Each structure stands twice: as structure tokens, then as C-alpha cells.
Amino acid sequence: MDIRPSRTGRPPWMERPSRLGRGGKILAISLISVVVIYPFLAVVATSLSSESDIAASGGLVIWPSHPTFDAYRYVFSGGIVSQALWISFLVTVVGTALSMAATIGMAYGLSRSGVVGGRFFLATALFTMLFTPGVIPMFLTVQKLGMYNTLASLVVPSLVSAFNLVVLRSFFMGLPAELLDAARIDGLGDWRILTRVVLPLSKAVLAVVALFYAVSYWNAFFSALLYLNDTSKWPLALVLRGLVIGGEATSAANEGVVPQQAVQMAVVVVSVVPIAAIYPFLQRYFTKGVLTGAVKG
Amino acid sequence: MHTPHSLGRRGFLRGVGAAAALATGGSTLAACGSGKAATVNKAGSAAQVQLPTYTPLSNGPTPDLPGTDAGVPAGFYNYPASPTAAFASPPLSGGKFSAMTPLFTAPPPSRGSNPAWQAVEKKLGASVDITMVVGDDFDTKLSTLIAGGGLPDLIQYDGLGGVPTISNLPQFLDSQIADLTELIGGDKIKAYPHLAAIPKVFWEQCTVAGRLYFLPIPRGISAGAGLYRQDLFAAAGVNSYKDIKNSDDFLTLLKELTNPGKDRYALATNAGGNYYGLPIFEQIFGVPNKWRVDGAGKLTADIETDEFKAALEFMVKVAKAGCYYPGSQGWTKAKMEDAFQSGKAALIYDGLPALSTSVWATAQKIDPNARLMPFVPFGANGGAGVAYQDNVVFAGTMLKKADPAKLAEVLKIADFLAAPFGTEEYLLKTYGVEGADYTLDANHNPVQTDQGKNDSNVTWKYVAAPQLVTYNPGVNALTDAAHQAYSELVPMALPDPTATLYSPTFGKQGVSLYKAVTDTLTQVIGGQSSMSSFDSAVKTWRSNGGDQMRSEFEQAYANAPKS
């Protein structure tokens, strides 16, 4: 490619873009944005529409002509959705915290050389990645540990994800050994090396792993379906599943009440907003070059 | 076609998923029943069993439109003015019980914050913990509980009259489920008067391998042949389904109803078990209900009949004429119903119970002239069409094995929940507590409050239930139409001759074998395959297990005493 300076003396990528080029980019980005935003917009608009508007539009509404908060009022009136929202929040926060603690501890231990039984524990963890336990063995384990119909059943069986463990371990192993040696010479023990040196250097990967855990706890419905009997313990994902597919299950028998589409969409909005809201706060960690300058001096 | 009726409620994939989930548990079950495997694996039929004696209640309310013992639901315009108490005092005195049912609505508030739940238990005299499982996931949870232990006292079984949803069903029933034959067979049912008031036709669905294992949750015998927009039909010159004389008339009408310029089509369908509204056409063309049995006890599957082929050829013509809403084969059921309510489709296959006061009201808001009516099939060659006994029961309820005293208590719970329309108990379990959950309008009809809409989602009606009624408060025209449809459909409804017979091959392979046929079927209607590929799909079905099922069912049929 010809990268000789142009008449202005600047390389081509520093030139002002042509009008056509800019227009093209704006058009392309706008189109992509519409494709991305349209489903969200339709979900929000439908949740704000009356049932007859939805039926008249044949499904999803793009602009609510008679906006109403009825669906949201209904969703929050029974206390079921607000209770489920609270349960999901609790499970996500507590679960993510416990998972992070367990995964960090295990990953740090396994990233150090000379740990007794390190290979065995690593192999055991990796084994679960290759061979996942069946539904019934998991169920029996949960039952025998006395966790059936408790919120612990949503957290403990999925406390450590082997994938996340491997990601963290690899990252910890990639940290410069000189840094850790220096810390040790300065008199720090493993605990303080982990908390003072390793973790501050690993913010980016910790943010990613925490997000993986948080999203999986937030979305988990299958464990709740199997292990929870009491509807007051249901997380939002399971309530949402009931509302969205409950009415689809029936054909000839047609057990009546298909939840109104507005209600379905309102629950979708309620379940998406909290998890979407934390993305911007974590985003800065994704882009930060954390290791810049770590080994200076 | 076998699948739309037998699998409609759960759908194919879910059935397959449940079967997969059961793969681990299956062997355990087989082992449990191995001692009696030889006897329980035999095919059996309802005719061998002494079913509960039908004893109608003498003090029930008088319906506006009477029902029949053959299963036509009685029609009520309004709730009776002064509901009677079915029980003077609570039938039980304490105790804790458990049940498990599917859930097709939002989950209800749990007992602590649900006055309706508390009131039902108070009137019953015992507490009942109900595990409610989102409809689609019910079979998964059930199979896990079967394998893992911890079955509740009352368990719904949704495979009655269709593909068994529990593998090795007879062995499972034999080892874990109470045999009701001796407990409530014959006159013994009279100890439970509300269960005794359920006609025999519903109990006939409740046997396996010659024993009575289930309590029925009755429905209206036939789910009908779809729903139609009477206003749109009238605009096309046909006032009622009765004016359609044969398939030529019908095709002309469907073309007349289709007007893409106005975004209106004669038909809409949806993804899943609808297959372009196949059941409508099957019933018009007189296809047998799953199997046809001749005088010598030989069975012919529906897909093997000339009638089925004629129906399929007709549907291909309808599709070619552009009468289906384009793309609707990918729709959800809710979307299809929306299209129907808004008049974008004039005829859909949807169960008759889908018509309700609220659906009617939604359609009337869009078009005040909208009239949503049940469609009753005519004969393709003139004369009468056929209907199917495809919605006799919603499901059956099994009782976990226990000592006789405990079983008697569990049956009392079922009897309580079978208190019929018109009683205080029915009002309570269906609508909740007056004041908090509903108020009565001028015609004594309960109008639910927002709280009531949530509180009343407790699934009592799926634990045990009385005979169905047609009740659409405020829309007498709809109650009339539904009652009229049931009155016409029930007498012409063909039974499935294998409904109470058991075939091990059907239990194991029924789902997967028919999937291949229905896949081909939709391709033929959609124009991607020719009729000859349907013929070869039927041949494959035969050789892969269809013939085996046939001979097993034939053997079971021969062994069953004829009533």
C-alpha cells in the first residue's frame, strides 16, 4: 500500500475523511444500531401497550399508541416478581462473591509451583469440564447434602466453574515472577501477596470472571426448576420462563390463560435492566491496560 | 395424525427431552418392578377394570344449558346466586400433604402471603404443599423426582391417552403408585361423592395394564376443529360452518376470505404441533382418531388411510392458493391467536377452551363486530365430518403408595377439590377469597381483583377437578356457541381405539417415529416436498416400529373384553 505523505504532508490516515466516506460510515453505523436497538425498543414498547393494540399490530409493537403501565402494575402487584427480583439479586450477589472467593483462592494456589496435590486438584477441576455430571446424580447430591428446596442449591453446586478457574490460573501464572519474588523479599506472605499484589494487577480478568459468574447466576433457571419447590424462592429467570412459555405449552387442551404479551415483555424488561445496568460500570476494566508500568524500576 | 392430539400439550421436543432425562432413571424403575415385569408389561384395557360407579349429585345447581353424561359440559350464563356449601365441616382434621402439578400462569404468591391458599386449607382441614412446575419443564422435574426419590402424595401424570411421558410406565406404577382399583372401584367411590359425580367416560382414560391408577381431570371430550371468525365468514357469504356443504365449497370460501391487500388470510398456523391446522382438515375428511379398528380387530394408523391422504392433498391445494398467512408456520401460538383476534386470520386450529370472555373482549375492542366461534367439521364429500375424543381429560392424578388410612385422606383431598361449579368450595379454589381476591357483580359473577389474579394461580384444579362447565360470564353468545359446539362434537367424536391400551413400542418410540412423518408432512404442505416423499415417510414409519406398535396394540385389543 502506498503510504507516502500526501500533499498536506500528512499520512493518509490523518487526512480528513471525504464526505462520501463519512456519509457511508454514518449510514452503516446507523443501520447496525437500528438492527441492535430495534428488538429492545419493540420489547419496551410492547410492554407499554394495551392488549388490543398488541393484537391489532399482530405481535410486537414499535410505538405504543395508547401507552399504559398496566403490565408493570400487574407484574409488581402480586409481589411475585418483586420477590423473585430480590431472590435473583441475593443469589447473584452472594453467589458471585462466594464463587469469586473460591475461584481466586483455588486459582492462586494452583498457579504456584510446589503446591502439594496441586496437579490432582487441577485434574479434578478439569475433569468436570470434560465430563459434566448428569441431572439425576446432581439432584441426589443436592438432596443428600440437605440443600433441596433451599437457596444454597442455586449456588453451591455451581460454586467453581472449571473454565473460570483455568482463565484465572493462567492469568496469575502470567504475572511476572520478579514481581512476586520482590514482594516475598519484602517480607510478604502468600495471603498478602495475593491481596496486595496479585489481585490489584488482575482487575481486568477479575471483572470478566465476576461478570461471567454474575450473568450465569442471574440467568440460572434449570437448577431452580429442579431443586426448588416453593414458589416464593423462585428466581426471576424461572418466573420469566413460566410467564413467557407457560401459555405456549398448551395446544388442544389449551389450559387457558396465555399471559398477556405486554406482561411477558414487562418481565423481560425487568429481568434485563439490572444486568444490563452493570455493564457500563465494568466496562472500564475491560479496556484498561492494567499491566502497563507494573514492572518499572 | 397421532401427534397433534397426543403431544399437543407438551410438544415434541419436550417429550424427547423428558425421554432423554429419563434414560438414567429408566433402568432403576425397571429394576423396581422386575418381580412383576411379566404381568405389568402386558397390554390391558379399561374394560377389564371395575370403574367407579357414576353417581350424579342430587343437590347441584340447575344449568342454563344442560350437560350430558356422555361428557357435554353444562353451560352457565352466570354463577348461581346462592352457592351451596359442599362440605358442612372440613373433611380432614389436620395433617400435611404434598402435591405436584404443572403451572401455566405466573406463579402464585406462596401460602404465607396468599389468603386464598390459606382459606382453601382451612376449609379442607389440612395443609397441602403444592410443587408447581412451569408446564414445559414438568416432565423433566417429574423424571428427576422419580429417579431421585421424594415423590409427593398427589402427582399429575400428563401422558394419559397419548405417548407415555414416564418410561416403563407399568413398572413405575406397580412399584410406586397406589392401585386405586380396590379403593374406589365400583360403589366404593360413593365415599367420595364429588369424585363419584364424574361420569364413566372420564374414568375410562385412567387405567393402565388393567388397573385403575389415576383420578381424571375432566375436559370437554373434544377440543373441536378450530375456531373461526363468524363475522368474516358472513362477509364472505357463509353465515355458519353449517352452510359449508363439501370441500369444494370450503376451498372457494377460503379463497374468498383471503385478501392480502387487506392483510387478511383465511388461515394462520404456528410452529410446533399445529402443522398448518392439520386437525381441522383431518376431521373434515374423516380421518380416524389415531387408529381405525375393523371388525376383525385389525388396526390401521391414521397416516395410512386414504382419508388422510385426501386431507393432505387438499391442504396442499389450500397452501398453493395462498390461503395461509405467509410465514405463520414460524409463529408462536400467542402470535397466531393475536392474528385471529385482530381478524388477520379467519380460521385457526386452537382448542375450543381457548375461547373466553377476555379473548372475546380483546377482539371486540379491535372490531366491535368480531364474533369468535368454535368450528364444527362438515363432511368433505357432503354429510357429517368426524370429531375426535382428543380432550377427554387434561391429565390424571396418581397417588403415591401409602397405607390405606393415608390414601383415604388423600382421596378426601381430591374429593374436596372435585366440588362442582355452583358450590362455595368451587368459588374459593377457583377465585379465592371474596373481597380480597374477587367481588361479585350484579349477576353474582366473580370479578377478580389484581390480587385475586395472582392468588388464584394456585394449581388446585390440576390436583383434582369436577366435570367441566362452559361459563363465559357476560358473553352469553359465546356460552351458547360453545355449548352448541360441544353438543354437536361429543356425539360425533371418535374414540382412539388405543387410548387405554398399552404398547411398549409406542411408549418407547412413539415420539421419535412420528417426528419423521410430521417433518415430511409440513414440507409437503409447504411445497418443499412432493406427495411421494410422504408415502415413503409412512413406509419408514411402518418398518421402524409402526408395524410393531400395531401388532402390540392389536394383541392388547384382542385381550380386552368388549363391553
Instruction: Report pLDDT digits (tens) over B9-39.
Output: 333 333 333 333 333 333 333 333 333 333 4
At A146-156, the pLDDT tens digits run: 999 999 999 99
* Beta carbons of B9 and A74 less than 8 Å apart: no
Q: Decide if A7 is inside a domain.
A: no
Check residue B316 and give its pLDDT: 96
- Nearest Cα neighbor of B527 from B330, B346, B321, B349 is B321
Q: What is the CA radius of gyration of chain B?
A: 23
Test mutation, A251, A260, A261, chain B, max B CBs within 10 A? A251
Q: Decide if A296 is inside a domain.
A: no
CA–CA min distance A194, chain B (Å): 42
> Residue A115: pLDDT band by 50, 70, 90 thresholds?
confident
* Beta carbons of A252 and B366 less than 8 Å apart: no
Which CATH number among 3.90.1170.40, 3.40.190.10, 3.90.1150.10, 3.20.20.30 corresponds to the domain B37-222+393-494?
Answer: 3.40.190.10
Q: Residue holding cell 380483546?
A: B362
**The pLDDT of residue A81 is above 60:** yes
Q: Decide if A144 is inside a domain.
A: yes
A229, A259, A261: residue with CB nearest B131: A229
Q: Decide if A12 is inside a domain.
A: no
At A20-65, the pLDDT tens digits run: 888 999 999 999 999 988 888 889 998 888 877 777 776 677 888 8
Q: Does B449 touch chain A (CB under 8 A)?
A: no
Reduced DSSP (H G I as helix, E B as strand, rest coil) percent helix, strand, coil of chain B, to 5:
45, 15, 35
Distance CA B539, CA B45 (A): 28
B417, amino acid identity: L
In chain A, the residue whose alpha carbon lies closest to the alpha carbon of B107 is A231
B147, B354, B451: residue with CB nearest A78: B451
Give φ, ψ of B290 to 5 degrees.
70, -55
Length of chain B: 563
Q: Are A282 and A201 contained in the same domain?
A: yes
- Give mean pLDDT, residues B291-309: 94
Where does residue B202 rank: exposed (0-12), middle (13-18), buried (19+ CB within 10 A)? buried
Q: Residue holding cell 389415576?
A: B214
Which residues from B are below 8 Å from A81, CB to CB? Answer: 106
B8, B363, B366: residue with CB nearest A252: B8
Check residue B418 and give its pLDDT: 96
Which residues from A are below 8 Å from B29, CB to CB? Answer: none
- Residue B179 CB partners (closer than 8 Å, separation 6+): B173, B211, B212, B213
Which residues from A are below 8 Å from B112, CB to CB? Answer: 232
**The pLDDT of residue B75 is above 70:** yes
Q: Are A100 and A186 contained in the same domain?
A: yes
Q: Report the domain count for chain A.
A: 2
Test mutation, B104, B342, B471, chain A, max A CBs within 10 A? B104
- Dihedral angle sign, alpha carbons of residues B267, B270, B271, B273: negative
Distance CA B235, CA B266 (A): 12
Return the H-helix or E-strand segment holding B212.
Answer: strand B211-212
Beta pairing partners, B388: B494
Distance CA A22, CA A33 (A): 16
Q: Are A34 and A103 contained in the same domain?
A: no
Between chain A and chain B, how many beta carbons pairs sit less than 8 Å apart? Answer: 188
Which residues from A are below 8 Å from B135, CB to CB? Answer: 242, 245-246, 249-250, 255
Q: Which of residues 223-242 of B touch A (CB under 8 A)?
A: 223
Grid cell at residue A224: 431452580
Q: Are A172 and A229 contained in the same domain?
A: yes
Which residues from B are below 8 Å from A259, CB to CB? Answer: 105-106
- Nearest Cα neighbor of B349 from B226, B250, B469, B458 is B226
- Give mean pLDDT, residues B100-110: 87
Q: Does B264 touch chain A (CB under 8 A)?
A: no
- Give mean pLDDT, residues B534-562: 90
**The pLDDT of residue A249 is above 50:** no
Return the H-helix or E-strand segment holding B215.
Answer: strand B215-221
Q: Which of residues 125-144 of A touch B (CB under 8 A)?
A: 134-137, 139-140, 143
Q: Are B223 and B71 in contact (CB under 8 A)?
A: no
Q: Residue holding cell 508500568?
A: A293
Which of the two residues, B10 and B522, has the higher pLDDT score? B522
State the span(s) of chain B assigned CATH 3.40.190.10: 37-222+393-494, 227-388+499-559
* Beta carbons of A251 and B4 less than 8 Å apart: yes
In three-state secondary structure terms, A112 is: coil
Distances (CA, A) of B63 to A83, B420, B427, B493: 42, 12, 16, 23
* Beta carbons of B107 and A229 less than 8 Å apart: no
Distance CA B257, CA B235 (A): 9
Q: Does A145 touch chain B (CB under 8 A)?
A: no
- Give mean pLDDT, residues B100-124: 91
- Give mean pLDDT, residues B43-56: 77
In three-state secondary structure terms, A109 is: helix
Q: Decide if A3 is inside a domain.
A: no
Q: Which of residues 19-78 of A touch B (CB under 8 A)?
A: 51-52, 54-59, 73-74, 77-78
Q: Which of residues 497-516 of B touch A (CB under 8 A)?
A: none
Distance CA A90, CA B177 (A): 39
Distance CA B530, CA B313 (A): 10
Q: In the sheet where B265-268 sits, what is the strand order?
A: B265-268, B345-348, B227-229, B372-374
Q: Are A225 and B134 in contact (CB under 8 A)?
A: yes
- Give mean pLDDT, residues A233-255: 68
Return the H-helix or E-strand segment holding B154.
Answer: strand B154-157
Which residues from A are below 8 Å from B271, CB to CB? Answer: none
Check residue B175 and give its pLDDT: 93
Check residue B68 and give its pLDDT: 92
- Give mean pLDDT, residues B472-478: 92
Q: Decide if A159 is inside a domain.
A: yes
Q: In the sheet where B96-103 sits, what is the strand order?
A: B127-134, B96-103, B154-157, B391-399, B215-221
- Give mean pLDDT, residues B471-495: 94
A52, A135, A242: residue with CB nearest B144: A135
Grid cell at residue B465: 377437578
Angle at A102 between CA A98 and CA A105, to 5 degrees: 140
* Ranges A76-85, A259-268, B250-259, most confident: B250-259
Q: Are A38 and A139 contained in the same domain?
A: no
In chain B, the residue whose alpha carbon lies closest to the alpha carbon of A53 is B366
Which residues from B are below 8 Å from A87, CB to CB? Answer: none
Q: Are B123 and B425 in contact (CB under 8 A)?
A: yes
B107, B148, B363: residue with CB nearest A231: B107
Distance CA A54, CA A40 (A): 16
Percent of residues, chain B, with pLDDT higher than 70:
91
Which CATH number among 3.40.190.10, 3.40.50.170, 3.40.120.10, 2.60.40.3140 corresponds to the domain B227-388+499-559?
Answer: 3.40.190.10
Q: Are A276 and A236 contained in the same domain?
A: yes
Q: Does B110 touch chain A (CB under 8 A)?
A: yes
Q: Decide if A6 is inside a domain.
A: no
Check residue A232 and give its pLDDT: 87
* Beta carbons of B108 and A80 less than 8 Å apart: yes
* Beta carbons of A249 and B10 less than 8 Å apart: yes
Q: Are B534 and B291 in contact (CB under 8 A)?
A: no
Q: What would you measure as the largest C-alpha separation in chain A, in angstroms?
A: 79
> Residue B2: pLDDT band by 50, 70, 90 thresholds?
very low
Domain CATH for A156: 1.10.3720.10
Structural domain boundaries enclosing A54: 18-68
At B405-442, the pLDDT tens digits run: 999 999 999 999 999 999 999 999 999 999 999 999 99
Q: Are A191 and A232 contained in the same domain?
A: yes
Angle at B508 between CA B503 and CA B510, to 5 degrees: 80
Q: Are A266 and A129 contained in the same domain?
A: yes
**The pLDDT of residue A140 is above 50:** yes
Distance CA B94, CA B87 (A): 16
Q: Residue holding cell 398496566?
A: A70
At B359-399, the pLDDT tens digits run: 898 899 889 999 999 999 999 998 888 999 988 999 999 99
Average of per-residue pLDDT values in chain B: 87
At B116-164, the pLDDT tens digits run: 999 999 999 999 999 999 888 898 899 899 988 889 999 999 888 777 7
Check residue B419 and give its pLDDT: 95
Q: Are A159 and A54 contained in the same domain?
A: no
Q: Which of residues 88-127 of A touch B (CB under 8 A)?
A: none
Check residue B158 and give its pLDDT: 86
* Beta carbons of A139 and B147 less than 8 Å apart: yes
Which residues from A are below 8 Å from B274, CB to CB? Answer: 251
In chain A, the residue whose alpha carbon lies closest to the alpha carbon of B264 is A58
Q: Residue holding cell 391417552?
A: B161
Question: Cα torsion at B424, B425, B428, B434 (round to 10°)?
Answer: 20
Check residue B33 and give its pLDDT: 35
Supply the ipTM of this predicted assembly: 0.77
- Give mean pLDDT, residues B514-518: 89
**The pLDDT of residue B306 is above 90:** yes
Which residues from A are below 8 Å from B273, CB to CB? Answer: 251
**The pLDDT of residue B227 is above 90:** yes
> Residue A97: pLDDT band by 50, 70, 90 thresholds?
very high
Q: What is the CA radius of gyration of chain A?
A: 26
B102, B109, B354: residue with CB nearest A80: B109
Q: Does B10 touch chain A (CB under 8 A)?
A: yes
**pTM of the complete model:** 0.83
In chain A, the residue whose alpha carbon lies closest to the alpha carbon of B356 is A256
Q: Are A97 and A242 contained in the same domain?
A: yes
Catalogue the E-assigned strands of B244-390. Answer: 265-268, 291-293, 299-301, 345-348, 372-374, 387-388
Q: Pairing between strand B215-221 and B265-268?
A: unpaired
Distances (CA, A) of B512 to A94, A183, B170, B515, B519: 43, 63, 21, 5, 11
Distance CA B430, CA B461 (A): 8
At B497-512, the pLDDT tens digits run: 988 787 888 878 887 8
Q: Are A28 and A136 contained in the same domain?
A: no
Where does residue B330 rank: exposed (0-12), middle (13-18), buried (19+ CB within 10 A)? exposed
> Residue A250: pLDDT band by 50, 70, 90 thresholds?
very low
Q: Are A225 and A86 contained in the same domain?
A: yes
Q: Does A2 touch chain B (CB under 8 A)?
A: no
